[in-house]
Structure 1
């Protein structure tokens, strides 16, 4: 039996395969997309977005650029880095529980040759992502290259289970479902400490900087609250869409979470081998090639206009539609069912707790009927939050709740992105991410380094 895949991907494929130019099923959903805020933590419905018709279709742009293959499609992180004149190294990192991660170290570039003693920055990607995600924005604008040009060395991590980090000392990711028995808790207590130690060892720095997006920030909160010694190894952290408390999320995953709830792993896991496969597997099963999600037929069916909006809200002015084939070449990557289930638990309980296995197993594991909450007050690293108005995964109300659970003064600044349509994925894909976010991040890191010297 072919494995089941994430619900939204199946919906997209159905749209692509059923619709054609004469089909009565052709549609455009964007003007009326409304994901209700379920009455768990907040009762109000999110208002629909009203934009000019000029922003509601991408079919002409995609049709014109359909056959112009982006040079980074099909390349691995080190190949992308090299193609723009930057130097990199590949490092394997083994966690305490046997997972083998691939981490890319960018040591220098045209404006800053490799040299010892550079400040090191650890980049941690989001859910369904990998190290390529930080390079989706053009080479003159993306954050890793900006930092390397400014004299930093950059480390792009890959969490356990994604296509770069499928190794394990004893388990086979293809045949052993036990391999996939992890969520972002295990990434926080396993992956993050191991990568931090690797960076410190190789770079020679006593302390390093940390930048994360989405689930990468979740791992940060887990790591520093559960492994207190990490607080002494980080100079500062910049969190793009800090995802801890998520009770106000209005993302479609919230609806999936309500549907399957805490039973997601038990119900779906045995069928899927406890994993959700990457897009290339979906393409293989359904006979789709890269770019098929953005053909003129697909856009007529509303896919181009609606896939990213359905997941992350609509920001047409900041969406590079001609680069969508590159986006879908890199996203989504693999993720364990348990990871998705853990996020669903956070949304449904309005808490930030360890994984809920049910009362009996909770007692066996934790000694309590309910899983323990993460102690965010244990975090002492100077931290900076970036949030945005149209982020339907990390809403500002939840950012405030997260802030209130941390020690006073630890969060040095809470920065709103100055664009009212900026959404969750814009942090890694927006046309103007450099001027809206990255330049400020560079300024923060420069100030932090100057003060620490």
Structure 2
């Protein structure tokens, strides 16, 4: 690694504040064989590790992005009791993890306490996404993850390639519009992608847990100092570098925009001196949205969530629900033992309002 600077401090802060370390820094054990989108055997995958031992059906899938990354997805098509939703087709739900996490993060609690299995038991067709570079999504059609070229991406590429690819995959398999759930970075890529209109014909509703569209009011001084000190003038390396650089730019600049390559680089990439801004207010005003955030969350700061809500002030108020839990922190939304009662049941009720 070339950069042993404030970016390292920033990365360590995110590691401490967000979730367990991303296994992108470990071995590539458990990568699945290619099968051109068909269900693959659940060997050494998330299904075999965390789902089927509890009596749930689970499928391993792979999705290829337009820029050649091969992503793993897990599908829990039904709950342990099976059945359907009153004779209706099961509604698909796509769950997107945050930074320093993968799909396994959602399954760390017991079946009675984790979101994917709760949704499956409530009659939903659950799909779990894993972004590029995570343990089970570390393949490419020709790039080697041991080489820097593989890691030359930030969350811009997750917006442009990963999320549209997994949406298209789920939509093609189910033929139905999709409920989206994002946590942390998963909210950022959802908000920006939906504002760009990428999933306009495939999206049924959106749930944002701990939204981090704005991160300019971070309460953690160490993170803020590291972000302000970092200038981002080195060659891209891994997700811990370029992706964190992009997040650091958001902290420093206080805007939601594409990756800043500097004036010369921006002209090359975007044809202008400054990177384009994502206009969150372009999200369709009639899209059902559920936002849940906590008062003890140093990353999804209350003031920053307020800025996001200000952008959504023209949204159809009957389609926007906001939940505030004053004693909840960032990890509580995916690992809290009372998250089922406080958050997940609310999500199920929210989805039930928008069934076919």
Give the TM bin, normalised by the shorter chain: 0.7 to 0.9
Greater percentage in helix: 1
Matched-pair contact (CA < 8 Å) for 1:161–1:336: no
Runs of 4+ in 1 over 6 A off after TM superposition: 1-5, 8-11
Q: Which residue of 2 aligns with 1:62?
A: none
CA distance in 1, matches of 2:150, 2:213: 25
Matched-pair contact (CA < 8 Å) for 2:296–2:330: yes
Matched-pair contact (CA < 8 Å) for 1:107–1:113: no
- Counting only pairs closer than 5 Å after superposition, residues 164-203 of structure 1 correspond to structure 2 as 164-174=136-146, 176-203=147-174
1:398 aligned to 304, 310, 313, which one? 304
| Bigger relative contact order (CA 8 A; separation at least 6) | 1
CA distance in 2, matches of 1:250, 1:345: 17
CA distance in 2, matches of 1:342, 1:113: 44
Q: Which residue of 2 aligns with 1:358?
A: 262
Q: Which residue of 2 aligns with 1:325?
A: none
- The CA deviation string for residues 108-135 of structure 1, in whole angstroms up to 9 with x for no partner, is 2322258993100000000011001111
1:414 aligned to 319, 322, 334, which one? 322
CA distance in 1, matches of 2:334, 2:299: 15
Structure 2 SS opposite 1:232: coil
1:443 maps to 2:346: no
CA distance in 2, matches of 1:164, 1:110: 25
* Unmatched 5+ stretches in structure 1: 12-74, 276-334
CA distance in 2, matches of 1:8, 1:412: 33
Q: Which residue of 1 aligns with 2:217?
A: 248
Structure 2 SS opposite 1:262: coil
Q: Which residue of 1 aligns with 2:77?
A: 107
CA distance in 2, matches of 1:230, 1:398: 25
1:389 maps to 2:295: yes
Compute the displacement of 1:357 (Å): 0.5
Q: Which residue of 1 aligns with 2:26?
A: none
Equivalences, count: 316
User: 1:384/1:430 Cα in 2 relative to 1: closer, same or farther (>3 Å)?
Assistant: same
- Counting only pairs closer than 5 Å after superposition, residues 12-161 of structure 1 correspond to structure 2 as 76-79=45-48, 80-113=50-83, 117-161=89-133
Could you tell me the TM-score, scaled by structure 2's length? 0.83
Structure 2 SS opposite 1:147: helix
Q: Which residue of 2 aligns with 1:34?
A: none
User: 1:171/1:354 Cα in 2 relative to 1: closer, same or farther (>3 Å)?
Assistant: same
* Unmatched 5+ stretches in structure 2: 14-43
Q: Which residue of 1 aligns with 2:206?
A: 237
CA distance in 1, matches of 2:110, 2:133: 27
Compute the displacement of 1:364 (Å): 2.2
Compute the displacement of 1:225 (Å): 2.1
Structure 2 SS opposite 1:414: strand
User: 1:137/1:197 Cα in 2 relative to 1: closer, same or farther (>3 Å)?
Assistant: same
Compute the displacement of 1:402 (Å): 1.5
CA distance in 1, matches of 2:223, 2:295: 18
Q: Which residue of 2 aligns with 1:371?
A: 275
Q: Which residue of 2 aligns with 1:310?
A: none
Q: Which residue of 1 aligns with 2:249?
A: 345
Matched-pair contact (CA < 8 Å) for 2:182–2:209: yes
Compute the displacement of 1:338 (Å): 0.8
CA distance in 2, matches of 1:149, 1:126: 24
Matched-pair contact (CA < 8 Å) for 2:45–2:60: no
- The CA deviation string for residues 159-213 of structure 1, in whole angstroms up to 9 with x for no partner, is 0111111111110111x211111111100110010000100111232x1110110
Q: Which residue of 2 aligns with 1:258?
A: 228
CA distance in 2, matches of 1:257, 1:8: 7
Could you tell me the TM-score, scaled by structure 1's length? 0.66
Compute the displacement of 1:150 (Å): 0.9
CA distance in 1, matches of 2:315, 2:348: 21
Matched-pair contact (CA < 8 Å) for 1:213–1:239: yes
Structure 1 SS opposite 2:229: helix
